[in-house]
Homo-oligomer: A and B are copies of this chain.
């Protein structure tokens, strides 16, 4: 009787990697986690499934459409679409038990059923940190966050990246003073394209919005402020406009944040004031961040976030200001692979494969155990296949070393070790081999 078979396939928009890529992905994951822990952030792991009404307490139209939501029995469930809403719900639930400032990181999968497109995933990892204050949160937190971003990307092996910094109060102040507060979203969306489409096109598009010539001039004068961070701070104060108090509040905060970032000794080339970045306009209320890999600007921001006034207002009556960032790891990994930054070299779990060349594999087993006690990952190959076939297997797994254990080796209490990259092979004591493997 022929078994009826099901075609093995996965949903489109869901990432799944071959082992070598998975190892590289996990290395990035581990580096991000390690970097976050370095700064004393504590881990959270909230459920993937929650009550729909809890997850959607604050959400708007787009989120509702994208969310994976369904009924099980009488319960209306949804899969989390970010890690911020669960954080808000968590802090609201346990506000009596946790210590503030609450510094948590969470790395986990989130789910969005959006239209499938290349490099966009429906199930993807976010790597978040947030610092939540009880009633107040020192502005120094806004400077520490870039220090975490800096450390994380340095640890990931990047050097040529820029953390872009702005303060939403400055933006709001400018638009408010021009009487354009309600239209700031549209204006910023246009101005955001200035590098791509040029100043002339931007002016035309703003004119289409029926904005006065004079106001367009003032907007551009503001947004085009360039220079070193100090030059920008000098120029913004000399702007010939009568701005509201919120504008000056933003300037004061931005200055403090820049001063703090310098206290963290982040190289000047790795952070830059940029008045054109805004992030989702509703959520953030002060400092905002984006991070650009300068050699791969086409990736867009790889780490973004900012300051918000009140994390959990839709759950409890308690003011919880915070600041946080998120790295979209799945997308970052995918894009870095696409541009060739991520390569498969040394994508392996086992540092060495032991190949017994004799029937009695007890010696090989003892050797494997001994190496593991030295913290060396070992795969023991007991397949009894041909030497050639076992070496091919080790190569396919990118295992950098093989050790042969035959009758001669057992008699002399030695092993033969082969470097799989350059093909060099030598006979040596087990201690010498351990030293080679630990290098």
Binding site for B on A (CB under 8 A): 3, 5-11, 14-19, 22-23, 25-26, 37-51, 53-54, 57, 68, 70-73, 75, 77, 79, 88-90, 92-94, 97-99, 101, 103-104, 109, 111, 113, 122-123, 138, 140-141, 144, 151, 263-265, 312-317, 348-350, 353, 361-362, 365-366, 369, 372, 377-380, 382-384, 393, 396-397, 399
CA distance A362 to B262 in the complex (A): 9
Indicate which residue in B89, B94, B377, B397 contacts A37 across the interface (CB closer than 8 Å): B377
Indicate which residue in B39, B101, B349 contacts A42 across the interface (CB closer than 8 Å): B349
A23 near B43: Cβ-Cβ < 8 Å: yes
- CB A212 to nearest CB in B, in angstroms, measures 34
- CB A334 to nearest CB in B, in angstroms, measures 14
A94 and B18 contact, Cβ closer than 8 Å, known pairs A68-B72, A123-B47: yes
CA distance A37 to B349 in the complex (A): 6
Indicate which residue in B48, B72, B379, B393 contacts A39 across the interface (CB closer than 8 Å): B379
B22 near A43: Cβ-Cβ < 8 Å: yes
A313 and B18 contact, Cβ closer than 8 Å, known pairs A9-B54, A25-B45, A45-B25: no
Q: Which residues of B contact A40 (CB under 8 A)?
A: 349-350, 353, 377-380, 399
B378 near A50: Cβ-Cβ < 8 Å: no
CA distance A37 to B353 in the complex (A): 13
A5 near B349: Cβ-Cβ < 8 Å: no
Q: Which residues of B contact A90 (CB under 8 A)?
A: 8, 16
A14, A39, A312: which has the most chain B beta carbons within 10 Å?
A39
Q: Which residues of B contact A396 (CB under 8 A)?
A: 99
Q: Which residues of B contact A70 (CB under 8 A)?
A: 68, 70-71
CA distance A68 to B379 in the complex (A): 37
Indicate which residue in B39, B75, B94 contacts A378 across the interface (CB closer than 8 Å): B39
Indicate which residue in B16, B47, B348, B384 contacts A15 across the interface (CB closer than 8 Å): B47
CA distance A41 to B263 in the complex (A): 44
- CB A396 to nearest CB in B, in angstroms, measures 4
- CB A390 to nearest CB in B, in angstroms, measures 11
CA distance A383 to B321 in the complex (A): 13
A5 near B42: Cβ-Cβ < 8 Å: no
CA distance A88 to B227 in the complex (A): 57
Q: Which residues of B contact A41 (CB under 8 A)?
A: 349
CA distance A312 to B7 in the complex (A): 11
CA distance A316 to B8 in the complex (A): 8
Ranked 7 nearest A-B pairs via Cβ? A40-B379, A70-B70, A40-B350, A6-B57, A8-B92, A19-B42, A14-B47
CA distance A26 to B108 in the complex (A): 13
A-B contact pairs, 27 of them (CB 8 A): A5-B313, A5-B314, A5-B315, A6-B315, A7-B54, A8-B88, A8-B315, A11-B47, A16-B47, A17-B45, A19-B42, A22-B44, A23-B42, A23-B43, A26-B43, A37-B349, A38-B378, A39-B377, A39-B379, A40-B353, A40-B378, A41-B349, A48-B123, A68-B77, A70-B71, A140-B382, A265-B366
